[in-house]
Structure formats: structure tokens, C-alpha cells
Structure 1
Amino acid sequence: MSDFPYLKIKHYINGAWKEETGVKTEPLYNPSTGEVIGEVPMASSELAKEAIAIADEAYKTWSKLPVAKRMTYIYKIRQGMVDNHEKLARAIAYDQAKHISEARGEVQRVIEILESAACVPSTIQGEYLDQVANNISARVIKQSLGVFGGVAPFNFPALVFGWFIPYAIAAGNTFIFKPSTQSPYFMQIMCEIFMETGLPAGVVNVIHGRRDIAESWYDDSRIAGVCLVGSTPTAKKMAEGCARGAKRSMLLGGAKNMLLVMEDANMDVFITNYLNSCYGSAGQRCLAGSIVAAVPEIYDEVLERMIEAAKTVKVGDAFDPDVYMGPLISQKAVQNVHNYIDIALKHGQGCQLVLDGRNIPLPEKNKNGFFVGPSIIKDVTPCNPLFTTEVFGPLVATIKVADMDDALELVRRSEFGNGACIFTQNMHYAETFSREANVGMVGVNVGICAPHPYVPFGGIKGSLIGTNKAQGKNGIDFFTQNKVITVRTHHPKGPDHKPQNASVRSCVAS
């Protein structure tokens, strides 16, 4: 897009842009065209330590700021996002290449999260117990902890910012945020908003680099906790570091989500949700439906309708209003999808590629972009690598299940436990599936079971390695600690003091 400048991404530390000399940079791509559109600096270990020191110093003042004053900054940041809504969405569509309509939706969701975080004065109120013993009261107060570090993935640069930073700083903490080097542009604009709103220096710091940024947090006593959205192997590695350094951890990992279609499902509702779940964000999200299971009575019809609908998905530039699905994040991601198509088919046992999204036709300007079209492999067995591995692309596996119990058993056996959805009009199916699906989030007649900002987001098993889920009350609990205060009172003149009789003169006229 010619209206974008060459992006020289910068660190944001202590309320100002920060540049280092002599450090390596990584190229930044526009996935829609394959062009290099900028460069991202890889921070030195010295800069990582400086960011910790700055955030720690800022915490001493920020944590003492009255909660109402902190909320004024949350309101200002929200308004800054409202005023720059389109600019932020276009930033996401440029370097992350999420389709512009989806990018707008992501920015809107973060605005809603900020509104939720603005309720912190209510959600951090403590408890009071009077007379727990003679002249003894007890109260529980919620306090901030200190400096938090957070690592974001490439696929939701805005949403993950929203899960971490608003709740953390509203509760009185300070933050060091490491965006993905593949989609840092959104946070660059957010830093401009921080400056415009007058957010005190050091409260939020943004640093770019590799995984060694996070490694500097584990053994530093000034870091209170670490947040991540990423793969399960990365989450497990970070959990080890957090455990070694006695840090709190909110570590959201990978997923392999099932959409189950029962014999009484409204097929039109399913197809609409299937398209969004499987091909929205080009399949690059942790709640994407990558397995479609159907009972024998309708399996063939479901597969036929899926293929027919997927063929209508227009693939192309993230800024094209007529496009439904944009590109993947990189050429490596494209190759990964290609590889898993080959792996699945080589595994055999009757599976078949019924829709091939490789080498799809594209406009000339997008010929070098990172594209894979909707792809479907039918009759995948539970032991096929495609059934168990998160591919992170628009590649869908279908499987015929005997009944709902059969599908539930497959969900229970999965390494992951992020989400699962059922399509049915039968209340027994809906309620039983909701209770028994061994996942953290369940959808009934929805393809993306993403909770609204007021309720927790996160899975179980390999999908959540840390101690808390994101957003809502869970987010507040993660970024605060409970302190119990026990108070005994006694009369200043001693326990044997008795009040003296005193005459009382009436104030009523006689």
C-alpha cells in the first residue's frame, strides 16, 4: 500500500521512543504482497534490563496513584483508540494482513476490553469481616504486585494487548510488552496514543526482540509475573522459567478445536459459522475450527456443503473489500500448511484431499504474497498427525463419529483443551456436550466460542499452562494479590476502663 511509509519500528521506553545503534534488525513484510515494508530492531540485553529498571521505578509512583486517577488514563486510552479506530485497523491489515473487516472488529473488541478494565474500582474491592473474635476484625484487600512482562503472538496484536495491559495498569502495576516481530505496527501506534494521553512515563514500555527478552525476566526480583499467548511448547518453556523465578504466569498455549454437527443441526447456521471459524483470520487463531466431526446420518451432506461453501471464499489482499480471507503471516507458514497436507495424505488410512488450496490464482500485485486457499481433507482418523497437530492455517480435517459420546471421547483424549462447539437444536445434546466436553470454552451453535470481555478467556490441559485465564475477573485476580489484615482494638485507657456517669441535659424545650 503506497500510502504507508517504510516502517522503522522503535522501542518505547520511559514514555519516549528509544533507538539502539549497532543492533540487528529483522525485515517486516506485508503478507499480502510479500514486500519488505520495514524493519524491527532486536533489543540488546542491556536495553531489556533498562526497561525493567524503568518500569520498576515507575511502579513506585503509579501504584500509589488513587484508583480514580488511574481510571482517567484508561478512559483516555479508550478514547484514543476510538479516535484512531481506522488507523489502528489498517495497521493490523498491513503487517499482520488480517482482512480489514476483521481488523476493525479486533480493534472494537479491545475498546470493549478497556471499558471492562475501567470497572476496576468495583472489581478490586476487598472484603471486611467484623468481630471474627472479641474486638478483632479482619479485612482482605487487593493490591498490585509490581512489574509484569508480556509476550504477544503475531495473529492478534491488538487483542493480546487488551488482555494484558489495561487490566495490569488499572490494578496499579506497570508493564513491559514484547509484540511479535511479525506484526508490531499496531503497538507503535498505541505508543503514540500513550504519549498523546499523557500516560506517565514508564507505566507501559514496549520492547522488540527475540525470546531472550522474556528470559531476562525469570530471575529478576523486580518482575512479578509473566504473560504469554503462543504455542504450547513455548508456554511450557516459559512456565519452567517462571517457576524457577517464583513468578506468576498467565500462559495461553495452542489448540485443536472440534466443530461437532449433530443430525438435527440447522445446516445453514452451521455453514455460516464454519466459514468464519475455519477460514476467518486465515485459520490463524487459537479458536479456529480445524476439525469438523459429523454423525453418520449427515456426514456426506455436511462434507458436500462445506466444500461448496469453501469454494465461494474469495482469497486475496487484506485491503480488498470483496475478499473474505487474506494471506498467512509468512512464506514459512504457507509451507507448513503444504507440509501437513502431504503428511496427512501419506499417513493414509483412507483420508482424501477434497479441496486443495495450494497455488490458488491471485491478482498480479499479490503473486508474491503468502496465500493458501481453503483446504479440506476428509475421513481423517484420530491417529493422523493432522488430527492432533495445530497447523495454524485454513486446513480443515473432517471425521465421521458414531455419536456425541464418540466425539466427546476424542475431545477428552486431545492434548489440548481450548474450545469445542456443537451444532444442534436438541437441548439434551447441547447441555450434555457443554458439561462433558473437556475444554475451557464451549460453543453451542457458534463456531468461535470467544467469551465477551467480561468473562474469562482460556482453555485447559495443554492450552493453558499458567495460573489464570485472561480478561474479566480472572484478569483482575491475576494482576492483584490478596492481603489479609487482622486488627484488634481496645480502649485507650485500658480493658478495665468503665465509662463515668454523666448528666445529660435535654435539648427539648420544657
Structure 2
Amino acid sequence: MTTPYIKIKNHINGVWVDESNGQYEPLRNPSTGAVIGEVPLSSPETSRAAVAAAAEAFPAWSATPLPKRMDYIFQMYRAMQDNLEPLAEAIAIDQAKHIAEARGEVGRVIEILQMACTIPALIQGETVQGIANNINGRLIKAPLGVFCGVAPFNFPALVFGWFIPFAIGTGNTFVYKPSTESPLFMQKMMQLMVDVGLPEGVVNIVHGDRETVEAWYDDDNVAGVCLVGSTPTAKAIAEGCGRGGKKTMLLGGAKNFLVAMEDAPMDLMIENILMSGYGSAGQRCLAVSNIAVVPEIYDEFVERLLEASKNISVGDAMDPDVFMGPVISANAKERIENYINIGVEGGATLALDGRNPDIADANKDGYFVGPTVFTDVTPCMQIAREEIFGPVLSVMKVGCIDGALRMIKNHDMGNGAVIFTQNAFYTEKFINEADVGMVGVNVGICAPHPYLPFGGIKGSLVGNNKVQGKDAIDFFTQNKVATVRVVDPRGNKPAEAKPADSSVRSCVAS
């Protein structure tokens, strides 16, 4: 498929605009390495202009009746259903996620939008009647103003779904910065929002680098910032927003564990490891990375994993016959291959080397790393401690479930962990004791359904709020409390409560 040259634009106050400073960087197709377009590197002034547009739109949008706001969300939901294939193709073109997985990502966002249509039930407040004579207490969940969001390259659609529907559904306006490496989905999604009639300035898009984000820290119009990205980036944003007293919802890095017990359903487990570890070329925050296997099945497991991994087909993201596409960039490929070198130098056994995979001639300049498996890995090795963000698996032998739980607890990150077992005791122990934010049993990817919050703990989450579900509602709203005295316009005073007579008191006392 020939892709026309793509010129990415900012979208501010209802208008597609070029970057005024004229600074752009090339947009590449990771499957071929070819330049397919250009992305603006917006100035701080452009970033602040987008915030100003969102701030101007906020009063009218927050006053829009809730059913009307929900109607826009529902129309976005229907528009995504009707345009699933072009939205998925956008992800496969610039992010090089395999087309089947890209369709799955868009499908999950459709589910999130469906869940966002339940905001009226989730945003309900509370009332306490009769806290004093003719006085009632009331709590309402009110919007705050302008929120800004930063997305990573690996899930351009999913992060849109985590942030924007909940923010605007609760009455806020939004400024969104997609990754410069995968901006095409948001261009198409923004146009769909325009097509359904979303008012100008409610959602704005700016593209750029760190300076684009840093412009928000001291902007009084910005109420909060949300991010999915690396832990260092999350901490930097937390520091910058903290100085201005802004709310933050910041999801950081991950190093996910899979624990294989002696009764693990082997066929199911291997199938799930392939999807989790090699799907999206290992570039997902819940990809399995460290695999802890008990001695009873260690040898069989390694043999089966290597056999299955060697049969993984690697190639163009738009080819439905391949299993795994490329990584996002030349820099990512170099970083992953450097970690493979580190693993070898650190004493691990490179049982399957994914460097220089067999690729079709048309994709020789793409950024490909094949399935890679290390064995004889120990928890203190660098490849077991640090996030590689590629199709690299580290297999470790562990004596029992307690040893596996200690490994998980001692790790700096705490995003997700899964266990494969048919034992109810192991299952309940793992759910209760695994020191992570998301747990899975006999699943390779422990991503919660959109009704439930998504996010880790420890180094994987900076702050408290997670995305999706009620956590999202809490983040994008503030609790406003009213104390209301009801006054009788006729001038009658409320009746005073009469003390109970002595007979009643004695009856109660007895």
C-alpha cells in the first residue's frame, strides 16, 4: 500500500494549523525506514496558545448539560466503530504495530468509550440530610478546567481513550500531545471529533518535544497533566507540576513478571507468552519480560519456549501473514540490541538471538529485532532489573512461589505480574501477595477491563490516580461541598427537638 506524504498539523481552537516556527522532524515508517511525512516541533508559544483556546472553551463546555456531553461521547463511539479499519491502518503505518493488533487496540478504545458513556452514573455526588436543624450537606463532583496529556508512541489510540473521553465527559477541556513517532491516529481521530460537531477548543492537539510540555507547568490555566511514559519522564512532570500545584496522573515504566508453577497448563502458557512478550514487538507496558519457572518444569518450559519463539515470523506491520512487526525506531533497535549485549556480558545464556532476523528485501531498512530469549538469568542482572521495551525474555529458575513473590517484591517497578497454575492456593496467595498494581491468573497480559482502573505501583506509578473507571472520574473532578440551610419564607422557625421524657429514657437505659 502506497501512503501519501503525511504532513502532521496541530489542531487549536477548531482549526488545523501549521507550526509557526517552521520546525519539523521526519516521520518514518518503521517497517521500511522510509520517510513518510513530517511532524511539527511546536514552540512553547504554540503550546500556550492551545491551552488558552481550551481555557476559553471551558466555561461554555462545563455548563453544557451532562446528557449533551454524553451525546458527543456516544457519537465519538459510533464514529470509531464506523472507521475502525482506517484508524487501525493509521497505527500500523507510523507506529508499525501489526495490523491485527492495531485493530485490537482500536477495538479496546471503542469499549472504553462505551464505558465512558456511564459517566452520569459515576459522577453522582452525595447528600447528608439533617446535619442540623434545616441544614443539609451536599457533595458534588465538579470539573476543574484545562487538562493536558502526553502520550507514548506504543498505544496512540489507547491513551487517547484513557484521557480525553473522561476529561471532557466530566466537563473539562483538553490539550493533547501525541508522540512525534506515532501521530497519525490522533490526526484522524481529531477529524472524527470535528465531524461529530464537538465545539471548538474542547479538544486541542499540539505536537512537539519536552519544551511543549514544560510550557504547561507555569500556566495558570492548566489544572492538571496526565502521562503514560517512562518513570524518569513521569518524575520530571511531577516535579514541574508540583511547583504550580497542579494535579498529575502519571503512569511510568514496567518490568513485568510471569510465574510458571509445576501445574501450569503448558500449551496455554506458551501461547500467552508469545502474545505478551512478542506482540507489539514487546513494546507494551504489560508485556511479559521476566519469567520465573519452578525446577519441576524448567527444562521442558525452556525447550518449548525456544521452539515456539523460533517459529515467530517477523516482517512488515501491514502483512497479515507475519506475527511481529518492527520496533519503533533506529534508536529503539540500537537500545534493545545493546541490552542483548549487556545480557551476554553479564553472564546470562543467550539461548535465542533476535539480532539480524531474516527479513524480506523490501524491509531491510526497517527496525527489526526478532524474538530473543535469555536463560540462566538471575534477579540482580541488569537485563532483569531494567525496562528493555522490546521482544526480549529473561528466564529464571525459582524454587517455589515464595521465591517468585520475593523477586517481584524486591523489584523497583510494580506494574503487572501473572501466574500460570491450576492450584487455588497458589492463585489466592499470588493475588494477595504479588507486589504489583495489576495481577493476572492464566493470562499473559493482565490488562483490566475498562470498567476497572489500570495502573501499577512503586516505580510504575508516580502519584495515586490510575486511568479508567472511577479512578479517572476522581482525577478529572474535584469534590465541592455545600452546606445548605433551608429557611422557611413564612418566617416560621424550625421546631426544636424535644428531650425524651423520663419514661422513654428509662426504657432506653434498660
Report what 2:380 is aligned to.
Answer: 383
Name the CA distance, whole Å, in 2 between partners of 1:287 and 1:497: 60
Matched, 1:470 2:467: yes
Report what 2:90 is aligned to.
Answer: 91
Question: C-alpha displacement at 1:496, in angstroms?
Answer: 4.7
Pairing partner for 1:370 from 360, 367, 372: 367
Identical aligned residues as a percent: 61
Which 4+ stretches in 1 moved above 4 angstroms?
Answer: 495-498
Asked if structure 2 preserves the Cα contact closer than 8 Å seen for 1:248 and 1:467, the reply is no
Name the CA distance, whole Å, in 2 between partners of 1:441 and 1:124: 25
Pairing partner for 1:488 from 447, 468, 485: 485
Name the CA distance, whole Å, in 1 between partners of 2:225 and 2:335: 29
Name the CA distance, whole Å, in 1 between partners of 2:451 and 2:195: 28
Name the CA distance, whole Å, in 1 between partners of 2:401 and 2:422: 14
Name the CA distance, whole Å, in 1 between partners of 2:259 and 2:464: 29
Matched, 1:426 2:423: yes
Question: C-alpha displacement at 1:497, in angstroms?
Answer: 8.4
Name the CA distance, whole Å, in 2 between partners of 1:322 and 1:436: 41
In the superposition, relative to structure 1, how do residues 104 and 496 fare at CA in structure 2: closer, same or farther (>3 Å)? closer
Q: How does 1:28-47 map to 2 (within 5 A)?
A: 28-47=27-46
Matched, 1:395 2:397: no
Name the CA distance, whole Å, in 2 between partners of 1:157 and 1:266: 34
Report what 1:315 is aligned to.
Answer: 314
Question: C-alpha displacement at 1:189, in angstroms?
Answer: 0.4
Q: State the one-letter code of the partner of 2:298.
A: Y
Q: State the one-letter code of the partner of 2:249.
A: M
Question: C-alpha displacement at 1:23, in angstroms?
Answer: 2.2
Q: State the one-letter code of the partner of 1:481.
A: Q
Name the CA distance, whole Å, in 1 between partners of 2:229 and 2:21: 29
Name the CA distance, whole Å, in 1 between partners of 2:252 and 2:162: 14
Q: Deviations over 1:418-464 (max 9, x none)?
A: 00000000000000001000000000000100001110000000000
Q: Is 70-79 or 250-259 further displaced after alignment? A: 70-79
Name the CA distance, whole Å, in 2 between partners of 1:265 and 1:405: 16
Question: C-alpha displacement at 1:495, in angstroms?
Answer: 4.6
Name the CA distance, whole Å, in 2 between partners of 1:352 and 1:42: 42
Output the TM-score relative to the length of structure 2.
0.96
Q: State the one-letter code of the partner of 1:221.
A: D
In the superposition, relative to structure 1, how do residues 149 and 497 fare at CA in structure 2: closer, same or farther (>3 Å)? closer
In the superposition, relative to structure 1, how do residues 497 and 66 fare at CA in structure 2: closer, same or farther (>3 Å)? closer
Matched, 1:100 2:99: yes
Q: State the one-letter code of the partner of 1:458.
A: G
3-state secondary structure, aligned to 2:396: strand
Asked if structure 1 preserves the Cα contact closer than 8 Å seen for 2:84 and 2:103, the reply is yes
Report what 1:331 is aligned to.
Answer: 330
Q: Deviations over 1:290-327 (max 9, x none)?
A: 11110011111111111011111110000111111000
Question: C-alpha displacement at 1:278, in angstroms?
Answer: 0.4
Matched, 1:406 2:403: yes
Report what 1:271 is aligned to.
Answer: 270
Q: Deviations over 1:246-287 (max 9, x none)?
A: 111000000000000000111011011110110011000110
Matched, 1:58 2:57: yes
Asked if structure 1 preserves the Cα contact closer than 8 Å seen for 2:133 and 2:494, the reply is no
Question: C-alpha displacement at 1:492, in angstroms?
Answer: 2.5
Matched, 1:19 2:9: no
Question: What RMSD, in angstroms, separates the aligned Cα atoms of the two structures?
Answer: 1.0
3-state secondary structure, aligned to 2:487: coil
3-state secondary structure, aligned to 1:132: strand
Asked if structure 2 preserves the Cα contact closer than 8 Å seen for 1:145 and 1:480, the reply is yes
Pairing partner for 1:449 from 441, 446, 470: 446
Matched, 1:148 2:147: yes
Name the CA distance, whole Å, in 1 between partners of 2:493 and 2:150: 61
Report what 1:503 is aligned to.
Answer: none
Report what 2:120 is aligned to.
Answer: 121
Q: How does 1:95-244 map to 2 (within 5 A)?
A: 95-244=94-243
3-state secondary structure, aligned to 2:461: coil
Asked if structure 2 preserves the Cα contact closer than 8 Å seen for 1:23 and 1:44, the reply is no
Asked if structure 2 preserves the Cα contact closer than 8 Å seen for 1:250 and 1:469, the reply is yes
Gaps of 5+ in 1: 499-510
Question: C-alpha displacement at 1:347, in angstroms?
Answer: 1.4
